[in-house]
């Protein structure tokens, strides 16, 4: 199934202390780790309100700014050429092409496919969304409701249990780099 890949790199990295997308980890920037996971996408682009053109991918800004990650998801859906869009945060370096295939295999008849993480909370920034959700995201942004859990609920997403995800990909898949210390093993500081 053809899909688009969008990496969200619009956060301010306050807890991290520097630009996460550019942070070198195990020999390359975090953004490149996530882009590599999307290697099978028909197109790949960055959603950010700053310049990342030096990475060699198209960069698009938020269409409706001010809504945090929901603005990024909306922009990804708006700009994608394909019906299905794999949306990933730039701070999830352990995602793999196999993970996106895993989600795509479950996409038939769905509008979104979202995995649960190790705390049994949704991982909406490592998820698959159908372009038909763009108006829903726009409506939620217009209501100034930026809660991603509500967006996932309203999308009636297929939720994949953590146990199933962990069995296939291990417990470190959703390693999230909110602080430099989260990347302690292998960081090129």
Domain residue limits, the chain:
3-181
Q: Quick one: pLDDT at residue 183?
A: 64
Contacts of 174 (CB under 8 A, 6+ apart): 92, 94, 115, 117, 118, 123, 126
More confident: 16 or 40: 40
Give, in order, the Cα–Cα distances in Å from 163 to each of 98, 115, 117: 17, 10, 9
CB–CB of 14/75 below 8 Å? Answer: no
Residue 178 near residue 16 (C-beta atoms within 8 A)? yes
**Fold held by 3-181:** Spore Coat Polysaccharide Biosynthesis Protein SpsA; Chain A (3.90.550)
Report the distance separating Cα 183 and Cα 48, nearest Å: 22
pLDDT at 90: 93
> Phi/psi zone of residue 59: left (φ > 0), alpha (ψ -120 to 50 degrees), beta?
beta
Read off the pLDDT of residues 78-92 as tens digits, 9 standing for 90 and up.
999 999 999 999 999
Each residue's pLDDT tens digit, 5-33 = 999 997 555 555 567 888 888 899 999 99
At 19 the pLDDT is: 78
What predicted TM-score, i.e. pTM, was given to this entire model? 0.92
pLDDT at residue 58, rounded to an integer:
97
pLDDT of 187 over the 60 cut: no
Banded pLDDT at 178 (limits 50, 70, 90): low
d(CA 120, CA 115) in angstroms, rounded, equals: 9
What is the C-alpha separation between 149 and 124, in angstroms, rounded? 8
State pLDDT tens for residues 108-166: 999 999 999 999 999 999 999 999 999 999 999 999 999 999 999 999 999 999 999 99
């Amino acid at each position: 199934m053809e899909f688009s890949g969008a990496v969200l790199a619009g956060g301010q990295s306050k807890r991290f202390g520097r630009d996460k997308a550019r942070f070198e980890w195990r020999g390359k920037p975090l953004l490149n780790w996530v882009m590599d996971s999307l290697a099978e996408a028909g197109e790949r682009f960055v959603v950010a309100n700053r310049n990342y053109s030096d990475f060699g991918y198209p960069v698009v800004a938020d269409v409706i700014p001010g809504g945090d990650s929901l603005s990024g998801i909306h922009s990804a859906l708006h700009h994608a050429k394909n019906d299905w869009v794999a949306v990933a945060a730039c701070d999830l370096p352990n995602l793999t092409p196999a993970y996106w295939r895993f989600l795509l295999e479950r996409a038939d008849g769905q509008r979104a496919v979202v995995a649960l993480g190790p705390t049994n909370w949704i991982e909406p920034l490592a998820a698959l969304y159908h372009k038909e959700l763009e108006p829903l995201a726009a409506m939620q942004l217009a209501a100034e409701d930026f809660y991603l859990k509500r967006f996932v609920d309203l999308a009636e997403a297929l939720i994949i249990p953590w146990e199933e995800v962990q069995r296939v990909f291990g417990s470190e898949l959703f390693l999230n780099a909110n602080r430099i210390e989260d990347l302690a093993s292998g960081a090129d500081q």
